[in-house]
């Protein structure tokens, strides 16, 4: 195999001495065939350059295609003119909330809710305290009335006791006088009998 690409060098001989077709011999035959076709082909026209292709395409575009393209461009232009402008975008973004503004708004809402909650809680507590105070006041009033009744009863008892005490003192005095008088009478009667 060293030495080139001739047909005889690409053919191999079997061990038995017969010549056979191998992959290399088949490829070499194909390459030779392609080379022959290239040399036998009739003369083609040379390849065109980019400028020639461009010139031909320019001439191939007809006038109706240009008019159609121009209409499309005008329609696009009108759509763009009727579309959004910078001022429209600025006006639209004015209403958008920035994150710092959002934080302020949320904080304000939370504070207001907390104030409402606190106010509601204070109102409920005040209401409950008022109810308890009302109940206690009723009990105090009832106790005051009961106390006054007991005081009046105590005064009546004290008057009665005072009257009883006076009567007792008077009875005691009268009893002493009676005892003294009886002693005197007894002594007198004993003197007379003696």
Q: How far is CA 6 from CA 3, 18, 29, in A?
A: 9, 19, 10
Do 29 and 104 lie in a common domain?
A: no
In this predicted structure, the answer to whether residue 120 has a pLDDT above a threshold of 90 is yes
Query: Is 146 inside a domain boundary?
Result: yes
What is the reported pLDDT for 35?
A: 57
pLDDT band of residue 15 (cuts 50, 70, 90) is very low
Check pLDDT > 90 for residue 150: yes
Q: Is 3 left (phi over 0), alpha (psi -120 to 50) or beta?
A: left
Please report which confidence band the pLDDT of residue 4 belongs to, taking 50, 70 and 90 as the band edges: very low
Q: Answer whether residue 68 is part of any domain.
A: no
Q: What is the pLDDT of residue 166?
A: 92
Query: Residue 9 pLDDT > 50, yes or no?
Result: no
Q: Is 10 exposed, middle or buried (0-12, 13-18, 19+ CB in 10 A)?
A: buried
161 or 61: whose pLDDT is higher? 161
Pair 67, 46: CB distance under 8 Å: no
| 194 and 107 housed in the same domain | yes
Residue 12 has pLDDT above 60, yes or no: no
Examine residue 15 and state whether it is found in any structural domain, yes or no.
yes
**What pLDDT shows up at residue 13?**
44
Is the per-residue pLDDT at 44 higher than 60?
no
114 or 1: which carries more pLDDT confidence?
114
Residue range(s) defining the domain that contains residue 172: 98-194
Quote the Cα angle for 162-167-170, to 5°. Answer: 125
State residue 84 phi and psi, 5-degree precision: -70, 140
- At 194 the three-state DSSP class reads coil
Q: What is the pTM of this model?
A: 0.35
Q: Per residue in 21-34, pLDDT tens?
A: 555 665 555 555 55
> 55 in a domain, yes or no?
no
Number of structural domains the chain divides into: 2
Domain-embedded: residue 167: yes
Q: Residue 128 — pLDDT band, cuts 50, 70, 90? A: very high
pLDDT over threshold 60, residue 95: yes
Q: Is residue 88 part of a domain?
A: no
| Residue 81 pLDDT greater than 90, yes or no | no
């Amino acid at each position: 195999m060293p030495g080139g690409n001739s047909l005889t060098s690409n053919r191999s001989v079997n061990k038995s001495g017969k010549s056979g077709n191998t992959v290399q011999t088949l490829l070499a035959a194909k390459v030779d065939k392609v080379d022959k076709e290239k040399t036998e082909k009739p003369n083609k026209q040379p390849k065109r350059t980019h400028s020639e292709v461009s010139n031909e395409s320019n001439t191939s575009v007809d006038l109706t295609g240009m008019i159609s393209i121009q209409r499309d461009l005008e329609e696009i232009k009108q759509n763009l003119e009727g579309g959004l402008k910078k001022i429209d975008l600025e006006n639209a973004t004015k209403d958008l909330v920035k994150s710092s503004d959002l934080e302020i708004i949320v904080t304000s809402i939370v504070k207001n809710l907390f104030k409402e909650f606190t106010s509601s809680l204070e109102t409920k507590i005040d209401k409950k305290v008022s109810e308890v105070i009302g109940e206690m006041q009723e009990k105090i009033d009832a106790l005051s009335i009961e106390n006054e009744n007991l005081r009046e009863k105590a005064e009546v008892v004290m008057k009665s006791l005072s009257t009883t005490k006076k009567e007792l003192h008077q009875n005691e005095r009268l009893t002493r006088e009676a005892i003294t008088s009886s002693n005197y009478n007894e002594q007198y009667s004993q003197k007379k009998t003696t």
